[in-house]
Amino acid sequence: MKYQLLVFDWDGTLVDSAARIIASLSAAFNDVGVEAPTVKQCRDVIGLGLEQALLRLSPYTSVDVRKTLMQRYRHHYLEANDTPTPLFAGVADVVAGLHADGYLMAIATGKSRRGLHAELPASGLEQCFHATRCADDAPSKPHPQMLTELMDELGVSAAHSLMIGDTEYDLQMAGNAGVDAVAVSCGAHESERLLALNPLICLGGVHALPDWLAEQTTG
């Protein structure tokens, strides 16, 4: 196999969670009496760690207000908001199949560790991933540390690793780590924005990844 390690983003790549993220961000801003960002502004920051996302959305608020925004966002996303966050169609079979094929599998996400632990076991895919990195563990994307740590932990070089994600931050992180990247257009950032960062390909979703990987193996 050309690639030994497949690293997936979580939100917008494997899981359709944009609606819940956006609703929780809006609710958090309303809770603290700060004008809520637009839907587009919220979508733009999906993929960043929460602190970095809030800094972009509201750069002139105080540190204390941003801390309260973080607390309220987590309350809404993890407890108060019941918007479903299902796996995208075909993801369960694809992830299980790639794991069975012998790939090393990992997750690199801007979610908190608490947030990932709330969703990964419920997805039924926990046993398919050999390692994970969250916003608690390393600097926010596009810093390369999440990827470099995963490669070190699993003993795979950058040349044999592949990042799969739906945002420019995923692709920038891959570039910063010297890792090839595949974009998927099912999530937060539109395909034109992703293609501007020169991924190997922009797929409609993870469901199309196995066929593309087979072409790389045999091509």
Residues annotated catalytic, as ranges: 9, 11
Half-sphere exposure in the Cβ direction for 1 (13 Å, CA): 17
Among 114, 126, 130, CA closest to 70: 114
- Contact criterion met (CB below 8 Å) for 194 and 9: no
State how far the Cα of 180 lies from the Cα of 117, in Å rounded to an integer: 27
Burial 105-136 (b: 16+ CB within 10 A, else e): bbbbbbbbeebbeebbeebebeebbebbbbbe
